[in-house]
Amino acid sequence: MFKILCFGSLNLDYVYQVEHLVAPAETLSAVSRAVFPGGKGLNQAVAAARAGACVYQAGAVGADGALLLETLASAGVRTEYVRQHELPTGHAIIEVDRHGENAILLYGGANQSLERSEIDETLQHFAKGDLLLVQNETNELEYLIRSAVQHGLKVALNVSPFAPELIKLPLELCSYLLVNEVEGAALSGLRQDEDGEKLITALAERYPHSLVILTLGARGSWCKAQGQSAVFCRSCKVKAVDTTAAGDTYTGYILTALMEGQGLEEAMQLASCAAALAVTRQGAAPSIPHRAEVTARLRERP
């Protein structure tokens, strides 16, 4: 049985419902506020666990991180490799407008305090056949990627949030690269509104050693490996309430399905349906569906 090690961010999400996203120099009153467990690392770990994978979370929280550990444990994610550091737990300020669109401000906190000795100790418990899943919300990304490959792990990098220094990482070592249209455009040099097939083709040519996974929200998703045809999956049509964890849900589900040995089209359909269910609910981790619910919905889908 393969294991997924999600070495990623753990955040407290402060979610504010607003009429519209705040503009520069504008002061806006929020309709409501709620606090949820989140962080791309936590969200993707929960998604993979609810998809049926054996998942371990690694990273760091502050003294105020108990809610995050409880959330992971309740989802079936192992937490023995999450350390407590002196810095406060990372958090996010999330605006969600009446159409379900969001804007996010991140504070890294303990997520940015990972130590190489902690990485080394954690990776000793994983081996060939396992998967390391990372995002751009923690420090020591290059060390994580290179060390995981040396241990025989496959590496999946969710290139989010995008920053120019990500291009300097050893992306050729990653088995999977997961991007949205903004990140895909930045990596390929094309426009964000470029045709999805052109975008995925350019990415696969630039990163020939990776399976590239491109999510376009309501416009569906694309996957392509160099030398193979691009595969497209339509999105499921739903009424969005909160899109915060859509991409993380897709990531956890598609990686689990691919590690299980499912075909690309089947894995994409599973992930797309899971993401669609997630956006119909508020919050990040709490909105992620379980595998049985996703499977049942797929049976109903034409």
pLDDT value of position 241: 86
H-only helix segments in 31-140 = 40-50, 66-74, 116-123
Domain that holds residue 209: 3-7+41-59+112-300
pLDDT of residue 302: 56
For residue 226, the model assigns a pLDDT of 84
Our count of domains for the chain comes to 1
CATH, residue 173: 3.40.1190.20
For residue 106, name the pLDDT band (cuts at 50, 70, 90).
Answer: confident
Is there a domain that residue 106 lies in? no
Note whether residue 286 is domain-resident: yes
Helix/strand/coil for 131: strand
Whether 21 is covered by a domain: the verdict is no
- Residue 278 in domain: yes
pLDDT range class, residue 108, cuts 50, 70, 90 = very high
Region class of 277: left (phi > 0), else alpha (psi between -120 and 50), else beta:
alpha
| Token pair 């309740």: residue | 74
Q: Is residue 88 included in any domain, yes or no?
A: no
* Sign of the alpha-carbon torsion through 88, 90, 96, 102: positive
Residues in the chain: 302
Q: How do strand 154-158 and strand 176-180 relate by DSSP bridges?
A: parallel
Do 12 and 67 contact (CB within 8 A), yes or no?
yes
Distance CA 8, CA 82 (A): 10
Mean pLDDT of the chain, nearest integer: 94
- Is 242 a catalytic site residue? no
Nearest to 189 by CA among 214, 209, 219, 167: 167
Q: pLDDT tens digit string along 22-63?
A: 999 999 999 999 888 989 999 999 999 999 999 999 999 999
Question: What digits encode the pLDDT tens for the residues 200-242?
Answer: 999 999 999 999 999 999 899 999 998 899 999 999 888 888 8
Report if residue 220 sits inside a domain.
yes
Which of 13, 130, 242, 248 does the annotation list as catalytic? Answer: 248
Tokens of 77: 């994610």
36 domain-assigned? no
Which runs of consecutive H residues, i.e. helices, occur in 141-232?
A: 141-150, 181-188, 196-206
Whether 122 is in a domain gets the answer yes
pLDDT, one tens digit per residue, over 128-170 is 999 999 999 999 999 999 999 999 999 999 999 999 999 999 9
Q: Which amino acid is at 177?
A: L
Q: Is the pLDDT of residue 301 over 80?
A: no
Angle (nearest 5°) at CA 92 between 144 and 121: 25
CA 275 – CA 248 distance, rounded (Å): 8
